[in-house]
Amino acid sequence: MDGRVLQERTLLLTHLRTYLEAPEHAHFLDDQLEGHQPGARQAAVLLVLFEHEGELSLLFIRRASTLRAHSGEIAFPGGSAESQDASPVETALREAWEEIGLAPERVEILGAMPPVFTVVSNFLIVPVVGYLHQGPGELRLQESEVAELIVAPLRALADPAIQRVEYWTRGEKTRAVYFFDYGTYCIWGATGRILAALLSILDTHDAGSSF
């Protein structure tokens, strides 16, 4: 990475650390649209940022087709909180290790985003954002849960041509549903909403075009 790109990347990471919530506050955040959800099941996902082929990229998984819930969908590594998890960060790191073999010590936690409540499955999902200074290393998939790893450049994900929003009504409430048609993959649902929120944060960065 040349000096100019390194400087731009440093500025972008500083921007994320500034705009994201401190990880220790993640337990106290509410979904900004759905409000407080005290009865929701707790979960966390890890948004993995790293340099890939000269571009800042984001790591997704395609869930195994044999899973009962959300089979075959594109997601971030993550899952339900367990009793031994002291925080959403621990949940996200543990799940990323179990699902894709990402070593926790490779991850610099930049912060957390406001949680996303899933109306149908009753989960409150905390997105935890991490950066891999040395890349992901050698990964191994938990094949019972993960069918494929997908690495997508942020520049491509931010292209308005692949984005669309639909408005779905459930009960008496209408909600925006975000879709990203990245190649042959469709990113939507909670993952789409989290991705849209991350891109919105990055869009406020002066060097946003330096993805």
Q: Which long-range contacts (CB under 8 A, 24 or more apart) does 192-199 make?
A: 193/116, 194/45, 194/47, 194/76, 194/113, 194/116, 194/125, 194/127, 195/58, 195/157, 196/163, 197/113, 197/114, 197/127, 198/47, 198/58, 198/113, 198/127, 198/129, 199/154, 199/157, 199/158
CB 115 within 8 A of CB 126: yes
- At 82, list the tokens: 């367990």
* Widest Cα–Cα separation across the chain: 53
CB 49 within 8 A of CB 153: no
For residues 105-123, one letter each, b for 16 or more C-beta atoms within 10 angstroms of the residue's C-beta and e for the rest, the string is ebbebbbbbbbbbbeeeeb
Amino acid at residue number 117: F
Q: Which tens digit of pLDDT belongs to each residue from 39-63?
A: 889 999 999 999 999 999 999 999 8
Instruction: Give the pLDDT confidence score for residue 44 in this predicted structure.
Output: 96
Q: How far apart are CA 185 and CA 63, in angstroms?
A: 12
CB 175 within 8 A of CB 167: yes
Side-chain half-sphere CA neighbours of 112 within 13 A: 26
Which pTM does this prediction carry?
0.92
Q: Which tens digit of pLDDT belongs to each residue from 66-118?
A: 766 656 799 999 999 999 999 999 999 999 999 999 999 999 999 999 999 98
20-24, 101-105, 150-154, 189-193: which has the minimum mean pLDDT?
20-24
